[in-house]
Structure 1
Amino acid sequence: MNLEDNLQIKRKLLEGALLIYPTDTVYGLGAVIDNEESLKKIYEAKSRAFSSPLIALVSSVDKIEKIAHIDEKNKKMVKELAKNFWPGALTIILKKKDIVPGIMVSNGDTVGIRIPDLKISLDIIEMAGGILATTSANISGEPSPRSYAELTDEIKSRVDIVIDGGECKIGEVSTIIDLTKSIPKILRKGAISTEEIKKIIGEVEV
């Protein structure tokens, strides 16, 4: 993407556009987090129930504390997980701050956070202010697209911007770990194994 493209994408995102873009894992469907109408449109585009939360992709570790609480118990774990797996295919669940709209997290009190390992993703997230509400770019119930070729015409027709980044280098969803539990819990197995995580933080539930 050139500078003109970047400026146009940034303007449209900040105006509330929906975007399909490549990440390191699978293609994502995203919008800025401070526009609730755009967040509603993500659910509508996917034909997805509002009971399924979105996650927040961030452009850097320092954005975490803007959207989530990190207590003393979790601080060391977050630091070690970020050091070993970010940028990369690990989503960490933490208690959310008020800046995260309820619609984005099914009116829950937690939010999933990840830093993708792909420059184009990070550039796009930065255009959105460093935080982008995201989910996989597929109609609910269909497979997550691992390449531009796997995006359906249906989902592409429901968004404002589509960026072709070819194949995703990992091509598998992120692993999700909930750090709000007394013992960290793996909520979804993905590209990073439970064994890899245990080596870094010790005991986890599956």
Structure 2
Amino acid sequence: MELLTTGEADIRRAADGIKAGLLVAFPTETVYGLGADAFNQVALARVFAAKGRPRFDPLIIHIASLETLDRLADLSALTPLMREKAAALMARFWPGPLTLILPKKPEVPDLATSGLPSVAVRCPDHPAALELIRLSTGAVAAPSANPFGRLSPTKAEHVRDQLGDRVDFILDGGRTSVGVESTVLDLSGGSSPAAAAPVPRILRPGGLSREAIEAVIGPVEFLAPGFSASEAAGISDPTAFTPGQSGPVSPGQLKSHYAPITPLVLYSPEAMASLAYSPGELFIFFSPKSRDSWLAVQNRTFPKDLIWTLSDSGSTLDGAANLFDLLHKLDRLEAAYIRVEAAPPYELGPAINDRLSRASTL
């Protein structure tokens, strides 16, 4: 593993590595991705092996220009209405933290899509990521750069500490700005002309809010996570899906995911307010307001490193940006439990709560 900067020479070196079949961890606006040439099946297999990722979990392919989308997605398979929605979303939110599920071209390797007839695509909003993609193959498959099921990385050091020599290069672009993965929106349900008014579905809440999406294309559905790891493992062929099999159709659909090593429990604000403190535990309140209310009831002082807030401003955008970085920090303290208050249910609050609920042990 070699740590590189986001200078031009280092990005070009990393891009040459991707063209040669190597693995490159790189910053995006959401989290760090573990990148490989999306059309190189050997390199894709290395991604799954490095992460310990089951092959039933499809990858997101990152592009730097809409011209590349023609190599990946068959937009002609969508209904005219869904094509309009796709075009509006790309124009408004790409580059940005939005992944679209679209009908795929036959040339896309089944390993990248877990054998599904659809492909997950996004254009990241980060200059180093875009330059890396442009200088390499134009299409880089990149799940989060962490062991499968563990905390996503928002700093280069998180990648180094969790993956080490399983990655060839790490581009260090500092801390990511959004802090949670992209929102995944399924548009492939509109691929059948016979479909009755197909509605786009959010398969994973993330760095783009539902409200922002609906302001552009109208109502969308939200599909709650429907698969436990054991349910997914029960699929007849665990290495890939075939059309018609029941299982995840996008990354981030497993019920258990994004977890620290330390047991974590998520609480509603009401339940969190009534908790009593036990030795060896760490508490994360969403804002100083809820923390201070709880402290007033406790009527005692606590060491600084036991009680934390996710957002000092009470903003869900700040909370999302801080989430994984704070959990990485607290995981190193080897506490008995991390007890976390849920975020408000608006803007990026659903994405925060989605990650915390999948990490929760209860």
Match of 2:24 in 1: 19
Aligned mates of 1:133, 1:54 — CA distance in 2: 6
Match of 2:211 in 1: 195
**Structure 1 SS opposite 2:142:** strand
Q: Does 1:58 align with 2:63?
A: yes
Equivalences for residues 37-186 of structure 1 within 5 A:
37-71=42-76, 72-181=80-189, 182-186=198-202
Aligned mates of 1:87, 1:146 — CA distance in 2: 19
Aligned mates of 1:59, 1:186 — CA distance in 2: 23
Could you report, residue by residue, the CA deviation over 1:78-100 in whole angstroms, capped at 9, with x for unpaired residues? 11101211111000000110221
Deviates more, 1:173-182 or 1:64-73: 64-73
Aligned mates of 1:173, 1:127 — CA distance in 2: 24
**Structure 1 SS opposite 2:99:** strand
Cα 1:195/1:99, change in 2 over 3 Å: same
One-letter amino acid of the structure 2 residue matched with residue 35 of structure 1: N
Q: Does 1:10 align with 2:15?
A: yes
**Structure 1 SS opposite 2:89:** helix
Could you report, residue by residue, the CA deviation over 1:160-194 in whole angstroms, capped at 9, with x for unpaired residues? 11111110011111100000122110000011111
Match of 2:221 in 1: 205
Q: Structure 1: any 5+ residue segments left out of the alignment?
A: none
- Name the TM-score, length of structure 1 as normaliser: 0.95
What's the C-alpha RMSD, in Å, of the aligned pairs? 1.4
One-letter amino acid of the structure 2 residue matched with residue 99 of structure 1: E
Aligned mates of 1:194, 1:136 — CA distance in 2: 22
Aligned mates of 1:185, 1:6 — CA distance in 2: 35
Cα 1:86/1:3, change in 2 over 3 Å: closer
Offset at 1:9? 2.2
Please say if residues 69 and 96 of structure 1, whose CA atoms lie closer than 8 Å, have aligned partners that are also in contact.
Answer: yes
Please say if residues 10 and 128 of structure 1, whose CA atoms lie closer than 8 Å, have aligned partners that are also in contact.
Answer: yes
Q: Structure 2: any 5+ residue segments left out of the alignment?
A: 1-5, 190-197, 223-362
Aligned mates of 1:195, 1:3 — CA distance in 2: 37
Offset at 1:152? 4.4
- Name the TM-score, length of structure 2 as normaliser: 0.55
Percent identity (aligned) = 36
Deviates more, 1:181-190 or 1:7-16: 7-16
Aligned mates of 1:14, 1:149 — CA distance in 2: 24
Match of 2:338 in 1: none
Offset at 1:62? 2.2
Aligned residues: 206
Aligned mates of 1:154, 1:167 — CA distance in 2: 16
Aligned mates of 1:19, 1:119 — CA distance in 2: 16
Higher relative contact order (CA 8 A, sep 6+): 1
Aligned mates of 1:162, 1:191 — CA distance in 2: 23
Match of 2:296 in 1: none
**Structure 1 SS opposite 2:102:** strand
